[in-house]
Amino acid sequence: MKVRCKTNKIDNSFTQDTATRLERYISISDSELDIEIGKEYTVYGIEFWDNCPWIYICADSYDEYPKPFALDFFEITEQKLSSYWVLNSKDTYNKKVKTQFVFCEWADDDSFYEKLIDEDEACVITFEKYRKAMDIE
């Protein structure tokens, strides 16, 4: 799946309801996100927050792990879902449902993303393998 950034800040292009929803997670009303307008990105995973999709992308080629961004900031340029993704849906500790499209290792390990950020060697190697594969899909 590929997306192109259409805006990098919460501005008047969003409805008030959408802006309010986004501001629950993003505290940069007047600032810009670390994404480039017009740039196309590969999506490495999707997670639903408040029933809305957040995509995991690497904003720069040198990023070591993907970061979540609301799909509201992008237009989908390639709709095909990655062949490496599985649908993962389960209850969380706070009685909510967590739904994702991610690769198996991420889906099977509730702390995979945190370990990836913390530079766990096995997680880094796993992400790099999938990143290379998804980049050429």
> What stretch of H or E contains 28?
none
* Residue type, position 7, single letter: T
Residues of the chain with pLDDT under 70: 28-30
User: Per-domain residue ranges for the chain?
Assistant: 2-135
Q: Report the pLDDT value the prediction gives residue 37, as an integer from 0 to 100.
A: 97
* DSSP conformational letter for 117: H
CA dist list (Å): 17 to 23, 37, 109: 10, 23, 33
DSSP string, 62-111: T-SS-EEEEGGGEEEEE-PPPTTEEEEEEE-TTS-EEEEEEEHHHHH-TT
